[in-house]
Chains A and B, each alone.
Chain A
Amino acid sequence: MKRVISCILFLLVICNFIQASYKFDVLSVEGYAKGYAITADKCGLESVLKNPAGVSLLESVTFLTSYSSFFDDFYQGVHLAAGLPINDTMSLAITIPARVVSGIPETIDNGGRAEQVGSFQDLDAALMFTTGLKILPDLYCGLNTNYYYHKLYTQKGTGWGFDFGFLYDINYDVTLGASIQNMGNTKIKWSTGHQDTFSQIVNVGLKYKWGQYLQFLADTSISQGKTELNLGAEKTLEEILSIYFGVQNIGKEARIGAGASLLLENLDINYAYSQHMYLGSVHKLSLGMRI
């Protein structure tokens, strides 16, 4: 145990900090509040953002939807997700995140001066299929198969991407998680002929339960030799109420987030908030239902 923690801490220390590129952070509310330190978290359908192995822990048919307002409502995002446990060892999930930026001014150069000639919108969406497997009683894995669709101005970009991850319960209190996002790099091909490449991200994280009502999360995202360090915490106040706190990308551009969950019988209501130093506030709200 000590050796594992030491290895993770060593990784965190030796690496430079990066800002990892999660293409669709609209689909996470609880994870957003936890500073995205969720590689080792068992957060159900939200797991698909960083570690699809979390889907394997679904115990019932689950639906999840969220709405996000970014930067004083500068743009909005929504997502819909559904999860289905096939049997004791396998679960499937489908997730559709989308974000749209409307009213982007279309401008031209008019003698060295901007002249607005219209406006356009940017629609970015994806279709994500997730398969979760329980390999051993304390080892889980998952695979995302993602189709990306991006429409900007009059052009379209499409591409395929794959994420793989696993979770390992070292003991009752400690869980280790690891994942690879954009395996082999994700390429988005545009109708203009241009191609964008999203680099592979390796996430390594740890969850530590401290007693019955408190847990700590830490993970690091490594991409192109640089690292982002995230920390999060969850405190259960009552059986039905939890609060979250997290810091994403510890360093000079850290983002602090907070949130809460109300856990009703078959219904989860999550809220997350963050304040950007320059761009303003982010509000996220999700509604989950188990059948």
Chain B
Amino acid sequence: MIKLIIKLYKIISILVFLLLLLGFSSKADSDYEPNTLIVKLKASKSLIRSQSNIHSYHQKMGVKELILVPVGKNGVKSASFGNQTYVLKFKSNRDMQVMAENYKAQSWVVSAEPNYYVYAHGFNDPGYESQDYLRTGRIKSVFDIPERNRVIVAVADTGIDYNHEDIEANIFLNTQEQNNNQDDDGNGYVDDVKGYNFYGFSLNSAHNDPIDEFGHGTHLAGIIGAKSNNGLGIAGINTKAQLLNVCFLNRFGRGNQVDAAAAITYAVDMGAKIINCSWGYSKKTSVLEDAINYAQDNNVVVVASTGNDSQQTFNYPAAFDSVIAVSAITNSNKRASYASFGGHVDFAAPGTDVYSLKPGNSYRELTGTSQSAAVVTGIIARVLSYNPDLTPAQIKALLIDSADDVMTSGRDIYTGYGVINTTSLKDNLGIVDGAQTSDRVPVQTAGSVVPELKEVLNFPNPCRSQGTTFGFITNKAGEVVVRIFDMRGQLKKTLETSVVDGDRYNTVFWDCYDDANTIIDNGTYFYIIEYKTSEKTLTARGRLSVLR
């Protein structure tokens, strides 16, 4: 009996081991076709004579099939042997890198390479479908500008949620600094590992945590440089940007010009090539002007939004000469009514319903010239990634040459030189179309996604006077209806929202008032979340309690 148990134990152990092995091997991330090698043979008459030796070698290596590749003049299938390229298919799992080295060592081989994948130039970021400003219009070809270098882009704003799933990897880390309560790099700021928070600098209360408590800076950072092709969230314009988190606005989006100047100066000193300033005021101080001049003197591009008061307003820093001032257009390329305007406007960019990041691994649409400025910042970051030697003046000249008029011909007070056309920009940068293999993940189409509704919970629960929020994950565009019932099954409230494509956490807030606008009593209620997509309708239900 004991022997039998030991035997069974051994068998199970072996099976578990094999399963683990299989699991690990299947997770191996290869960027080429398995068991396939491309081998180009030398053109030599003597080779014809050694055909049998070559075949023997193939057999020894485990080749089960040879496919002639029709490449170029000599690629056509012919009776002649040599100077031809073959795809070798192997019988079993082999390391193609090793096999390539083995074949390269043969005298009759010109080249031996794994068959590397190529991918369509697209994104698997589920929120990309919601990024109308990138998918349509004049900047949709921005991704044709290759990213060659990582550019430091400072977001001087309300901070960035540096833990956000879609941006964490692109946050600039100060490797010269450690979290040890010391100023390791001697820049005057202690433990500025992930940027710095200059809010309160003028009151000597700045600190080293630039987390975003307002959401504005995170949204802009996402537009500029959210991580792309990571299967999460959205695609940033410069997907390899290093986002320098320079916070100086508080959780209400307010700051002062001294703190702003300190933030800009810090960004320049930390090596930022671009500073995004989606804020401003109609009055200026010399300290702010000095900081902008400091940036200009150090060849740093400063991009600023013009404001959202629908009037002719000269907000600073946008109205400084050296700053690229950005106004907004709608998604239908019309002047945005909310945008401030004036003779200082340089460009206009999409700013309406721009979909980007929200702190807490969430996503949302925001509207304003802030978003437009971030779009232009992202484009410039992409340009500098391609050619880091360009000066701010050269960049501005490039952008002017690449801008399309959307209103009157020439510069106007609403859209400046117009809207940057990234196809023209690409041409002006001398980029020739060609295959690009940087985006390595296949395009995921929404149509292939099976709708899912999961992680349905309201929070907080029990809820008190502040109301409660229904949270749930969906993965496809659709309509969501939340119905709340009392214990008798009487409908108390109906809430509706839309969700977009991609795995995302959605929230719907309820203020605990019923449809008759009466605050509901303490007690337990039921809710049903109905998620309707074009394919099917899913429901989930839960219990919530109100306790005041």
Interface size class on chain A is 35 or more
Q: Is B459 touching A153 in the complex (CB atoms < 8 A)?
A: no
Q: Mark B476-512, 1 if CB is under 8 A from A, else 0.
A: 0000000101011111000000000000010100000
Q: Is the C-beta of A115 less than 8 angstroms from some C-beta in chain B?
A: yes
Q: Is the C-beta of B460 less than 8 angstroms from some C-beta in chain A?
A: yes
**Chain A neighbourhood of B462, CB < 8 A:** 104, 106, 120, 152-153
- Which of the candidate stretches A50-58, A162-170, A188-196 sits at the interface with the other chain? A188-196
Number of A-B contacts (CB under 8 A): 115
Q: Is A108 touching B489 in the complex (CB atoms < 8 A)?
A: no
Complex partner residue of B522 from A25, A74, A103, A157, CB under 8 angstroms: A157
A112/B507 contact (C-beta < 8 A), A150-B523, A152-B524 known: yes
**Chain B neighbourhood of A253, CB < 8 A:** 490-491
Chain B residue with the shortest CB-CB distance to A255: B489
Chain B residue with the shortest CB-CB distance to A100: B524
Interface size class on chain B is 35 or more
Chain A residue with the shortest CB-CB distance to B161: A111
**Chain A neighbourhood of B542, CB < 8 A:** 105
**Chain B neighbourhood of A160, CB < 8 A:** none
Q: Is the C-beta of A279 less than 8 angstroms from some C-beta in chain B?
A: yes
**Chain B neighbourhood of A21, CB < 8 A:** 488
Q: Mark B509-528, 1 if CB is under 8 A from A, else 0.
A: 00000000000011110101
Q: Is B545 touching A122 in the complex (CB atoms < 8 A)?
A: yes
When chains A and B are docked, how far (Å) is the Cα of A113 from the Cα of B457? 9
A111/B522 contact (C-beta < 8 A), A71-B489, A253-B491 known: no
Q: Is A108 touching B523 in the complex (CB atoms < 8 A)?
A: no
Q: Is B359 touching A111 in the complex (CB atoms < 8 A)?
A: yes
* Nearest CB on A from B408, distance (A): 44
When chains A and B are docked, how far (Å) is the Cα of A27 from the Cα of B522? 21
* Nearest CB on B from A198, distance (A): 8
**Chain A neighbourhood of B526, CB < 8 A:** 71, 74, 279
Considering only residues 230-260 of chain A, those with a C-beta below 8 Å from chain B are 253, 255
When chains A and B are docked, how far (Å) is the Cα of A225 from the Cα of B44? 102
Complex partner residue of A104 from B360, B362, B461, CB under 8 angstroms: B461
When chains A and B are docked, how far (Å) is the Cα of A141 from the Cα of B440? 82
Q: Is the C-beta of B547 less than 8 angstroms from some C-beta in chain A?
A: yes
Chain A residue with the shortest CB-CB distance to B521: A196
Q: Is B471 touching A124 in the complex (CB atoms < 8 A)?
A: no
Q: Is B523 touching A113 in the complex (CB atoms < 8 A)?
A: no
Q: Mark B523-548, 1 if CB is under 8 A from A, else 0.
A: 11010100000000000011111011
Q: Is A116 touching B457 in the complex (CB atoms < 8 A)?
A: yes
Chain B residue with the shortest CB-CB distance to A124: B523
Complex partner residue of A109 from B459, B489, B505, B541, CB under 8 angstroms: B459
Q: Is B460 touching A108 in the complex (CB atoms < 8 A)?
A: yes
Complex partner residue of A152 from B471, B490, B505, B545, CB under 8 angstroms: B545
* Nearest CB on A from B202, distance (A): 30
When chains A and B are docked, how far (Å) is the Cα of A128 from the Cα of B312? 72
Chain A residue with the shortest CB-CB distance to B362: A112
When chains A and B are docked, how far (Å) is the Cα of A115 from the Cα of B505? 13
**Chain B neighbourhood of A113, CB < 8 A:** 360-362, 459, 471, 505
Q: Is A105 touching B489 in the complex (CB atoms < 8 A)?
A: no
A114/B458 contact (C-beta < 8 A), A99-B487, A196-B521 known: yes
When chains A and B are docked, how far (Å) is the Cα of A256 from the Cα of B244? 63
Chain A residue with the shortest CB-CB distance to B530: A278
Q: Is B360 touching A107 in the complex (CB atoms < 8 A)?
A: no
When chains A and B are docked, how far (Å) is the Cα of A192 from the Cα of B463? 13
When chains A and B are docked, how far (Å) is the Cα of A190 from the Cα of B462? 15
A19/B528 contact (C-beta < 8 A), A107-B459, A150-B523 known: no
Chain B residue with the shortest CB-CB distance to A111: B360
**Chain A neighbourhood of B485, CB < 8 A:** 278-279
**Chain A neighbourhood of B178, CB < 8 A:** none
A278/B522 contact (C-beta < 8 A), A25-B488, A192-B547, A253-B490 known: no
Considering only residues 245-291 of chain A, those with a C-beta below 8 Å from chain B are 253, 255, 276, 278-279, 282
When chains A and B are docked, how far (Å) is the Cα of A194 from the Cα of B546? 11
Q: Is the C-beta of A75 less than 8 angstroms from some C-beta in chain B?
A: yes
Chain B residue with the shortest CB-CB distance to A104: B543
**Chain B neighbourhood of A112, CB < 8 A:** 358-362, 505, 507
Q: Is the C-beta of B455 less than 8 angstroms from some C-beta in chain A?
A: yes
Q: Is the C-beta of A155 less than 8 angstroms from some C-beta in chain B?
A: yes
Q: Is the C-beta of A216 less than 8 angstroms from some C-beta in chain B?
A: no
When chains A and B are docked, how far (Å) is the Cα of A104 from the Cα of B462? 9
When chains A and B are docked, how far (Å) is the Cα of A279 from the Cα of B484? 10
Q: Is A152 touching B547 in the complex (CB atoms < 8 A)?
A: yes
Complex partner residue of B461 from A22, A75, A105, CB under 8 angstroms: A105
A-B contact pairs, 25 of them (CB 8 A): A22-B488, A70-B487, A70-B489, A71-B489, A74-B541, A75-B524, A101-B524, A103-B543, A105-B461, A107-B458, A109-B460, A111-B360, A113-B505, A114-B459, A120-B462, A122-B523, A124-B523, A152-B524, A152-B545, A155-B547, A190-B548, A192-B547, A196-B522, A276-B489, A279-B526
What is the interface of chain A, defined by CB distance below 8 A to chain B?
A: 19, 21-22, 25, 70-71, 74-75, 99, 101, 103-116, 120, 122, 124, 150, 152-153, 155, 157, 188, 190, 192, 194, 196, 198, 253, 255, 276, 278-279, 282
| 15 more A-B residue pairs beyond the given contacts A107-B460, A114-B457, A276-B489, with a C-beta to C-beta distance below 8 A | A75-B487, A104-B543, A104-B544, A104-B545, A105-B461, A105-B543, A112-B505, A113-B361, A116-B457, A120-B462, A120-B545, A188-B522, A278-B485, A279-B485, A282-B489
What is the interface of chain B, defined by CB distance below 8 A to chain A?
A: 358-362, 455, 457-462, 469, 471, 483, 485, 487-491, 505, 507, 521-524, 526, 528, 541-545, 547-548
